[in-house]
Amino acid sequence: MQINSKIYFDNAATTALAPEVLETMTQVLKDNFGNPSSQHSFGRASKSILETTRKKIAEYLGVSASEIFFTSGGTEADNTALIGAVESLGVKHIISSKIKHHAVLHTLEYLQQKKGVRVSYVALDNKGYVDYQNLEELLKNSSEKTLVSLMHANNEIKTLLDLEKVGNLCEKYNALFHSDTVQTLGHYRVEPKKYKLHFLVASAHKFHGPKGVGFLYVDNKIKIDSFIHGGSQEKNKRGGTENLYGIAGLGKALELALLNVDEHQKEVKILKNEMIRLLNENFEGIAYNTDVENESLYTVLNVAFPYNDKSSMLLFHLDMKGIAASGGSACTSGASTGSHVLTGINAIPNQVPVRFSFSRMNTLEEVHKTIEVLKEILK
């Protein structure tokens, strides 16, 4: 999407608000200031928006409305699921992967250090795919109550997890299953029941909704304790007056994303494939940190440019020319230690990684302009 002639290719970090979402939110801000907990008509009107949105989201996911808890976003939902599994459900062993988002990794470190939880990391191949045989071994040999925490798509390299396979393994070994679907919900239809998920995490700002709002799905069969102590909001689990306009925006954004999800997939894949074609045609020594041969998350292309004098400051030069891309996760880009994800998969050496992430608001013209700018910088 061009904003004042700038190009935005960092949609894995966040997306622009869809105009219809802004409209929904503005209307709620203007017309529905009532507290959803109030009994009068103002409160009831707000409560109705809250519960209608919850129901709508539940329908998209094929779950019950009572299984959806609104949160301040993906980080809070991941924290809640993992800490809740340990504190409320007696989980003593968590199986995860070293290439998770920090919302999970740092929570696991906390649970390891402060709660004595055992954490195992499943083996990955050099493209970042989970070794399912190793996962089964870990599950088979786990004598404690176990949770498997694996994200649907990695936020940097975008390998996709076979949710169904992992769900079946978890069921076979009586383990709980948590998946961070922040990078995929809204880009795919995700059905928690089909995948036997106990926890699923989503964040609105990754699919053209507002920042600071998301939700946690918790399977009705399990019960976790309150995670924010206060009022009786969110079925006594998360106290605090609800972020009503954010929640309404989240509902609208998910509706827009899923309504035409097949079309969006097709359009975005065209952009990504054109970018791959032109990169291969115009630059020598290009490789990819994303698995471009198999099914990886279609919104992202992580390119490994060969390291040299011209490419060393590539992101900076792109930014100077008005093109926003990133070196990895928004949380890790800029860190001098580099990406834990690329380190975790023994990535291509001597590379300058550039993550281009697309959305339905991008155009082919922007891809072409970006290639021209890359030529100027690198040739």
Ligand X SMILES: Cc1ncc(COP(=O)(O)O)c(C=O)c1O
Least gap, CB of 20 to ligand X (angstroms)? 21
Q: Which is nearer to ligand X, 151 or 253 (CB)?
A: 151
Edge-to-edge order in the sheet of strand 146-149: 68-71, 214-218, 199-203, 176-180, 146-149, 93-96, 118-121
Q: Which of 33, 83, 116, 111 is nearest to 216 (CA)?
A: 83
Q: Kindly tell me the sign of the dihedral angle through the C-alpha atoms of 366, 262, 49, 13.
A: negative
Q: Please state whether 344 falls in left (phi above 0), alpha (psi between -120 and 50) or beta.
A: alpha
Strands 2-3 and 6-8: antiparallel
| Active-site position among 16, 58, 331, 348 | 331
φ/ψ of 355, rounded to 5, equals -100, 115
Distance between CA atoms of residues 280 and 286, nearest Å: 7
Strands (E), 307-347: 323-324
Q: Is residue 331 among the annotated active site residues?
A: yes
Distance between CA atoms of residues 323 and 27, nearest Å: 33
- Tokens in use for 269? 């894949």
Where does this chain bind ligand X (CB under 6 A)?
A: 73-75, 78, 101, 103, 151, 155, 180, 182-183, 203, 214, 330
Residues carrying an active site annotation? 331
